[in-house]
Amino acid sequence: MMLEGKRVLVTGGASGIGASVAQICAEAGARIAVLDLDEATASAAARQLCGAGHLGYACDVSIAASVDAGFAAVEQAFGGIDAVVNCAGIWRPSSDGPITRVTDETWDKIIAVNLTGTFYVCRAAVAAMERVGGGSIVTVASVVAVTGWEKLNAYSASKGGVLSFSRALAIECGSKNIRVNCICPGVIETPMTQKTLAYSKPTVLPIGRLGRPEDIARTAAFLCSDWSSFTTASTVMVDGGFSAA
Ligand code: NAP
Pick the atom of ligand 1 nearest to 216's CA: 30
Q: Is 61 in the pocket of ligand 1 (CB under 6 A)?
A: yes
Average pLDDT over residues 235-240: 97
- Ligand 1 centroid, distance to 175 Cα (angstroms): 31
Cα separation, 180 vs 87, whole angstroms:
14
Position 131 confidence tier, pLDDT thresholds 50, 70, 90: very high
Q: Is 121 in the pocket of ligand 1 (CB under 6 A)?
A: no
Say what the pTM is: 0.98
- pLDDT tens-digit map of 42-71: 999 999 999 999 999 999 999 999 999 999
Whether 199 sits among the annotated catalytic residues: the reply is: no
- Ligand 1 centroid, distance to 191 Cα (angstroms): 8
Q: Is 192 in the pocket of ligand 1 (CB under 6 A)?
A: yes
Boundaries of every domain in the chain: 7-238
- pLDDT tens-digit map of 200-219: 566 678 998 899 999 999 99
**Ligand 1 probe mutation, 23, 35, 36, most atoms within 8 A of CB:** 36
**Closest protein CA for atom 13 of ligand 1:** 88
Q: What pLDDT is attached to residue 42?
A: 98
Strand-pairing partners, residue 194, are none
Q: What pLDDT is attached to residue 196?
A: 74
Q: What pLDDT is attached to residue 205?
A: 85
**Ligand 1 probe mutation, 15, 108, 236, most atoms within 8 A of CB:** 15
3.40.50.720, 3.30.360.10, 3.30.379.10, 3.60.20.10: CATH of 7-238 = 3.40.50.720
Q: What pLDDT is attached to residue 199?
A: 54
